[in-house]
Structure formats: C-alpha cells, structure tokens
Structure 1
Amino acid sequence: MFSQFLKENRYVPFLLTAFRLYLGWEWLTAGWGKISGGKFDASGFMVGAVKNMSGDHPSVQPWWGHFLNEFAIPYVDLFNVMVPWGEFLVGAALILGIFTSFSALMGLTMNFAYMFSGTTSTNPQMVLLGMFILVAGTNAGKIGLDRWIIPVLKKWIFKKAGNQSILENV
C-alpha cells in the first residue's frame, strides 16, 4: 500500500525531488572532491576495513573482508576510478532526475559497500532516502529529465521489441 502511494500519488514527486536533490548533492560533492583533490587512493580504506574483520566485535563481516582482500585490493586501480566517478555521476543523475531509479540503486550499492566496510557516517540516512526513491520508480523522476526520457525510451523499446505485451508493465 505504501509503495503504491509512492508510485502513484501526484504530490509525492515534490517530496522525492527534495530527497533526490539532497542525495544528489551529497554524491556529487563527494565524488568531485575525490576527482579534483588529486590522486584518490582507496587502498588505505580497504586495508583498514580488512583489519576490522577480526576481534571480539568486528565491524566488517569476514565474507566482505575476504572480498576486499581477494578482489578489491588487488584491483584497487579500478576502484580508484570507479569510486569517485561513480559518486559524481550518481549525484549528477539524481540532481537532473535522469535514470533516477538506476542512479538510486547505484547509490544504494555504494552506501552498502561503505557500511559493509565498517563505516556509518551519513550512509544509513542516505540508504533510507534512496529506498524511497527506488520504490517510487518513475514517480521519483517526474520532476526531472525522466519525465521526457522514460516515455521516449519506452517507445523505442516497444518499437525494437515489436511486441508491446513484453513491456506492458514497464
């Protein structure tokens, strides 16, 4: 019932726009700070997270620590590009209201990665606001570029698919 309210109410996009602008600004400034601040290096953060998976009350679960140790740290150069540009692009997309659901999902993914790594900060509140945006679907981007982009994409996909029944619920 609440999800239906978020998806269909005509006044909800105004509240969601405020959420989008707040989250977008947080992501945009975090990403831009890393991009423009010189060489960003996530290795110290990752190594610190791996150290926090031991002890009486570990803040990092072993499965996540092993992922960081076995995959993320060896490929830290990839993450050094993906993290700042991912934050920046998610922020820009949320502010513009373009591909809003996908952008919110990517933001949530990053928030959870930071929380899995043992940090809290603003991540829980960002997760909560991001969930509202994600559940609302296209209603979250109605005051934004999604208002025009999504209908065009649907028409293009229907034309390519040749069968509208495939995407009737999109």
Structure 2
Amino acid sequence: MFDKQNIVISENPVSKFLFSNTRSAVIWLIIRLYVGYTWLTAGWGKVTSDAWTGENAGAAIQGFVKGALAKSQEGADVTGWYANFLESMVLPNAKAFSFMVAYGELLVGLGLIVGLLTGIAAFFGALMNVSFLFAGTLSINPLLFILATWLVLAWKVAGWYGLDRWALPLLGTPWNRSNRESSLKF
C-alpha cells in the first residue's frame, strides 16, 4: 500500500547546511552586510538629496522614468507593459514613488545590516532590484538581486548574527504559531 501522507523527501546536505544550519550564518553575515551597506548608502544618498525627498522631490525619479521610457522606444531594454506602468502609475505619482524608493532603500539597508526580519528586507530589496532591471538599468542590480534571493532562501539563519536571533523566536512564523506561543510563556 502507498501512503501519500508519509512521504518524506530529505534535503540535500549542502542546502541543509546553507539554509538551516547556524554554522553557515557567518557566510550570510558577510553577504548580508555587503548588500545592506549597498542599499543603505544608496538610500542615504537619496534621502539627503533635494531631488528625491527635498523641495524638488520627484525630479530625480521623473528623469529616471523618462530615460526608461526612451529605452522602451529604442528597443527591447524596457518591455511595453513595464513602460505603461511607469508612464501611467509612476510618472503621475513621482513624488510619492520618490519617497518610497529613497526610504525603502534606506530601510532595506538598515534591516539587513542589523539583521532584523532579514528575509523580508531581502525580499523588498530584490523587488526594487527587479524594478530597476525592468526599467533597463543594469549596474549592480543583477548581483544584488541574486544575493538578495539567496538571503530570502536563508532567512532562518541569515540573521543569526543579528536581531533575528531573538526576534524570530518571539514573532514565530505564520505556519507555526504554537512555537511562538510556547516561546512567550515565562
């Protein structure tokens, strides 16, 4: 008889070490600090810039979007659907998007550096990287996207040398609330 409920597929040793073993946390610490520092410095530059969050907020993002729209006309650097999104959503709301990008970069950088909600911070960093890639901007975005994706996969141990070591047991996970409740009992 074949029982579908009791099938267990074991994890390979490399994945188990990288994504579930706290001895790999030093690897993730190095990656996390690099990605976090990159986001923090980019965000700080924008937060302190007049064209992003100051009196002329939205000017920088308007220039960025107009450049991306020009790339959509020239060739396949920016796809049509993303150009439509930039033109219809981002451009009319440039000031709001300007603040979201500037403070989003800053918060992702801080979250990764202090190791708080590392998987969530890395996810939003990767989301911004994909947005920049869709807009036809390469630079460091592919590398940061790959590293952020790895940090998302390693969420259980990536923040071990950070605040996640204490925050994750207190917060628990949505799929296992009983662990959180038992860890909160004194």
TM-score class, shorter-chain normalisation, is 0.7 to 0.9
Task: Specify the code of the residue in structure 1 equivalent to 2:46.
Answer: K
4+ long deviations beyond 2 Å: 1-6
Offset at residue 138 of structure 1 (A): 1.6
Residue identity over aligned pairs, in percent, reads 36
Residue 97 of structure 1 aligns with which residue? Answer: 115
Consecutive unaligned residues of structure 1, counting only runs of 5 or more, are none
Q: Distance in 2 between matches of 1:70 and 1:3?
A: 42
Q: Distance in 1 between matches of 2:84 and 2:78?
A: 10
Q: Distance in 2 between matches of 1:111 and 1:85?
A: 15
Contact 2:77 2:135 in 1 (8 A): yes
Is 1:6 matched with 2:24?
no
Task: Specify the code of the residue in structure 1 equivalent to 2:178.
Answer: Q
Is 1:21 matched with 2:33?
yes
Residue 32 of structure 1 aligns with which residue? Answer: 44
Offset at residue 3 of structure 1 (A): 3.9
Is 1:77 matched with 2:91?
no
How many residue pairs get aligned? The number is: 161
Consecutive unaligned residues of structure 2, counting only runs of 5 or more, are 1-11, 53-59, 182-186
SS of alignment partner, residue 172 of structure 2: helix
SS of alignment partner, residue 72 of structure 2: coil
Residue 54 of structure 1 aligns with which residue? Answer: 73
Q: Distance in 1 between matches of 2:115 and 2:143?
A: 20
Residue 172 of structure 2 aligns with which residue? Answer: 154
Task: Specify the code of the residue in structure 2 equivalent to 1:164.
Answer: S
Higher RCO (C-alpha 8 Å, min separation 6): 1
Q: CA RMSD in A?
A: 2.1
Offset at residue 5 of structure 1 (A): 3.2
Q: Distance in 1 between matches of 2:29 and 2:117?
A: 13
Offset at residue 27 of structure 1 (A): 0.3
Is 1:118 matched with 2:136?
yes
Contact 1:59 1:117 in 2 (8 A): yes
Is 1:127 matched with 2:145?
yes
SS of alignment partner, residue 98 of structure 1: coil
Task: Specify the code of the residue in structure 2 equivalent to 1:47.
Answer: K
TM-score of the pair, normalised by structure 2: 0.80
Contact 1:3 1:135 in 2 (8 A): no
Residue 163 of structure 2 aligns with which residue? Answer: 145
Q: Distance in 1 between matches of 2:138 and 2:86?
A: 18
CA displacement, residues 89-112 of structure 1 (integer Å, 9 cap, x when unaligned) = 100000000010000000000000
TM-score of the pair, normalised by structure 1: 0.87
